[in-house]
Amino acid sequence: MADFGDKKCDSEELLLQRQRKEKKDLQAEIQKLKHGVTKGDKKKKKETTEKIALLEAELTAKHQKELAELKDNNIVEEDAEIEEVVNSVDKLSTEDHDGQDEVVQQSAKPKKQSKAQKRRNKKAAKDEEREERIREQEIENLTSSRHMEAVKIKSVLKQRGLQIHEIPSDGNCLYAAVAHQLEDRKISSSVDSLRTQVAKYMREHADDFLPFLSKDNGDCFTQDDFEAYCNDLETTPAWGGQLEIQALCNVLRIPVEVVQSEGPSILTGEHYGGNPLVLTYYRHAYGLGEHYHSVEEKVDNPEDDFT
């Protein structure tokens, strides 16, 4: 009987060798795709970037599936070898205690799977199902609105020598992004301080904001509703939007530019002059809603050419 460990190692090594070759071939194909893009052809570059991402995701999913199938086959083969040994021992150990001649008994009933084998099969099936869901999600993510939005914004920033400075998605993203921008200008501030200043400004200029606020049912805000809105803005991690950006510009007396994936950037407070604070706005970044990140000077990385 061949050594199972040797067969298992040989099969796995052959599979890994083939997968390494497929990865190398894919990289060669990717280089051809990149070289086929004319410099300055933004549309072709975007299409090529998306195609490369999809090719990489498909190959990764294929390799993960192959490794999972190899693992399952190894478990089955190992169990078969164990059962073969057990059956051989059973055939050789039928001599009774009175010294009677050896009797080989054949069982007419089919051999039932052991509980341990059933558990292994059930676990293998669950693992395969989970891996398949992961592979499907990875491919979906690369073609989703979220991914495409991130690619577009990253491309816009790259042309300006900028890159994303990530801000946590905890409801304070707008104020934390502004605080980060102010820090680059040697201006000390905090989320709590900005919230307090914005709430104060909006209360003092209610007529500039109240007409733009409405309830879920479409009714306009009352004065009490507006006061409750300002209280939440000041004391809770309530999400901030364009109205709060307008208030921030007036409080800080600095313009704010918001870069987005669709359409041109939105510049608020341009009458103050000077370089604006730059934020990035995402509609699809998180399941809970929109999100803001800050930006910083880009660090050169050749791998980012097509991302």
Any idea which residues carry the catalytic annotation? Answer: 170, 173, 291
Backbone angles phi, psi at 284, to 5 degrees: -115, 15
HEC secondary structure over 75-87? HHHHHHHHHHHHH
Q: Report how far apart, in Å, the C-alpha atoms of 53 and of each of 33, 60, 197 are.
A: 12, 11, 44
> Which residue type sits at 84?
E
Q: How many C-beta atoms surround the C-beta of residue 294 within 10 A?
A: 23
The closest alpha carbon to 292, from 234, 245, 233, belongs to: 245
- Measured over the CA atoms of residue 202, residue 206, residue 211 and residue 214, the dihedral's sign is positive
Question: How far apart, in Å, do the first and last CA atoms of the chain sit?
Answer: 52
